[in-house]
Amino acid sequence: MPEQTAARRVVTNIALSLDGHYAKPDPMDMGWVMPYAVTDVARDHLTSLWEPATTALLGRVNAEGFLGFWPTVIGMEGADPRDEGFAKWLVDTEKVVLSSTLDKAPWERTAIVDKPTAEVVEDLKAAEGGDILVLASASVIKSLLAEDKVDRLALTVFPVFLGAGPRLFDDGLPEGGWTLVSQTAGEHGTLCLVYDRVR
């Protein structure tokens, strides 16, 4: 089999509290994220991730949240140009939503897939395109980490302790090394980290 020279990368992006949680016990309570998500460093970090990506991979819950909110930012008075850029990318790009309950997509340029996450990623990697960006869908990211399918791990660490809630990194993940590609500190102590998997 010929070697693929420019293999597509699976890039995952998620925000974490300093004590390692990606959500509060009530996942709808997003108040802890807001002061940090609108910082320059967080906006620039997200921009650096979506610009080389041609596919967004989402779980159903995140798809409903993201695709319910972000299109409303386009043309919004006073919207940050980086937010508007991301919103336009999200609307225009190929989206793959993992779901066993949806049978048709209420969004344009979206495929609903009911298959194991690792299998979906293998199919996407076999096709032409840029990065495959997993946007804050913790269940998808956790599954990909467990299967060692993440090529680039992007984290935005917010300097708060949530004290409880689900964690991103479960025991039993495959052992392996990661190399730090970039680190940026910003307002309010927000820290953006990007690691590449060493294979």
Average pLDDT estimate for 184-199: 95
- Confidence at 123, pLDDT banded by 50, 70, 90: very high
Report whether 131 contacts 48 (CB < 8 A).
no
Average pLDDT estimate for 121-143: 96
Question: What pLDDT does 105 receive?
Answer: 87
pLDDT digits (tens, 9 = 90+) for 12-70: 999 999 999 999 999 889 899 989 999 999 999 999 999 999 999 999 999 998 999 99
Average pLDDT estimate for 99-123: 93
50-72: burial string, b at 16+ Cβ within 10 Å, e else: beebbbbbbbbebbbbbbeebee
**Neighbour count for residue 80 (Cβ, 10 Å):** 13
| Alpha carbon 41 to its chain's center | 16
**pTM (two decimals):** 0.93
The structure tokens listed for 53 are 């990506």
**How far apart are alpha carbons 123 and 144 in whole angstroms?**
14
Q: Residue ranges per domain, the chain? A: 10-197
Q: Is the pLDDT of residue 1 over 90?
A: no
Identity of the amino acid at 92: D
- The CATH number given to 10-197 is 3.40.430.10
Q: Is the pLDDT of residue 174 over 50?
A: yes
